[in-house]
Structure 1
C-alpha cells in the first residue's frame, strides 16, 4: 500500500524537492544580488506568468455547453467564485496563515506575499490538475516533473524577492496537488480523458485568469485579490452542467 501511495504521488514529492531547492538557492542569492537585479528577476517571472495565464485562459474557447459559449461560462464562474471568495474571506484567511507562519518561524520581508503568490502560482493551472490526475490514475508523473522544474526555477526568483515565505508553499503543494492525485482513482470513471474533457478545459481557462492576476500582482501593476477567485475552480464544472440542461 505504501508503494502504491508513493507511485500515485511521486510527481508531488518531486515538486516539493524542486521548490525547496529553488527557495534555498534564491535565499542564498538574495544577499548577493543588488535590489534592481532581484526586481528584474521577479519581473521576468511576472511576464512569463502573464503569458502562461493567457495561454491557459484560451482553453475556455474550446468549451461549448449547448448554446452557451465557454467564455460566458468562465465569466459567470469567475464572478460567482469571486463573490463567494470575498464572502468566505479566503484572501484574508490565507494572509492570516501566512502571518501566523511568519510569526511562528520568524520570517522576514514580504513573507505573506511570497507565501500566497507562490502557493497560487504553483497550484493553479492545467499542469497541476492534469498532471495530478495522470499521476494518480496511471502513475505517470511526466507532467508533474516538468512542472516541478518550472516551479523550482520560479522559486529561485520569488524567494530572492519575497524571502522564505515562498518555501512554505510546499505545504499547499502537498495538500492540494497530492490530494488530487490520491482521489484521481475515484474520478477515473467520470473523467476518462482529462485532456479533452470540457469541464477540465473550463477549469483550466478560469485558472488561467487567476494566473493572469498573479502575474499582474508580481509586476505590481495593481493588487488583485486572486485567492478570492479560488471557488471559481469548483463553480466552473457545476455551471457547465447547469448550462447543458438549459
Structure 2
C-alpha cells in the first residue's frame, strides 16, 4: 500500500500549502501544471498498454467492458451522485460548519472516482508497481493546493477517503494475485494503460470520454485472458 500512503500524504501536504496560499493560484500556473501532469500521465498509460502480449484480448476486453459499462451507465450514475452532493452542499453554503464537509466531499470525489485510482491500486496490489499512484499523488497534490485555497481544510480530510478506497482495492488485488497468472496480469495491465491514456486526453480537454463506463474492461480483459487458450 505504499502508493496509497504516498497519495494520501501528497494531499495532506498540498492542503497545507493551499492554506498558506488562501488567495488562490493564478490560473495560468494552474493550467500549465495540469497540462504538464496530463502529458506525463499519458506516457505512463502508453508504457502500460504496450506491455500487451495479445492485443486481441485487450480489444475484446474493452469491447465487453464498454457494453457492460454502458448498460449499467456507471458514468451517469457517478455524475448524478456528484451533482446531488454538490447541490446539497451548495444549498447549505460554503461557509460555516458545512464548509469542511464541502471540501471533503468534493475532493474525495475528484481523487477517488477515476481510472487512475482504480488501475493504480490494482497495479500496486498485483505487482507492487506504484508508478501510477506516484503520478496520481503528484497530480492530486497540485489539485489539493488549488482546492484548499478556495474550500478550506476539509480537503485535507479527503486523504482518509484515499486511504480507505484505494487501500481496499490494493488489498483485494493482492489477495487475487496468488491465483492470477502472469499472462492475466499483463493483459489486465495493458487494458488499464489504455484507460490511463484516456485520463490524459480528458485532462487535456481533447475529447470527452466516459471513462467510468470503460472500467469494466479491466476485469473483462482479465477474465478473457484467464480462459484464452495457450
Contiguous gaps of at least 5 residues in structure 1: 1-8, 64-69, 136-142
Q: Does 1:156 align with 2:141?
A: yes
Structure 2 counterparts to residues 214-233 of structure 1, below 5 A: 214-233=199-218
Q: Is the 8 A contact 2:121 2:133 kept in 1?
A: no
1:131 counterpart SS class: helix
Residue matched to 1:48 = 40
Aligned to 2:68: 84
TM-score, scaled relative to structure 2: 0.74
Residues 32, 178 of structure 1: alpha-carbon distance in 2 compared, 3 angstrom cutoff: same
Greater mean deviation of Cα atoms: 115-124 or 72-81 = 115-124
Is 1:19 aligned with 2:48? no
Question: In the aligned structure 1, how far is the partner of 2:71 from the partner of 2:116?
Answer: 24
Pairwise CA distance, 1:155 = 1.1
Aligned residue in 1 for 2:170 = 180
CA RMSD, Structure 1 to Structure 2 (Å)? 3.5
* Mapped partners of 2:37, 2:74: distance in 1: 25
Distance 1:87 1:34, change over 3 A: same
Distance 2:133 2:122 in 1: 13
> Do the aligned residues in 1 keep the contact of 2:188 with 2:218 (CA within 8 Å)?
yes
Measure the CA separation in 2 of the matches of 1:210 and 1:28: 35
Unaligned 5+ segments in structure 2 are: 95-101
Of 112-121 and 91-100, the range deviating more from structure 2 = 112-121
Q: Return the alpha-carbon distance in structure 2 between the equivalents of residues 30 and 214 of structure 1.
A: 29
Q: Are 1:131 and 2:135 an aligned pair?
A: no
Higher mean alpha-carbon deviation, 209-218 vs 97-106, is at 97-106
In structure 2, what is the Cα distance between the partners aligned to 1:198 and 1:112?
38
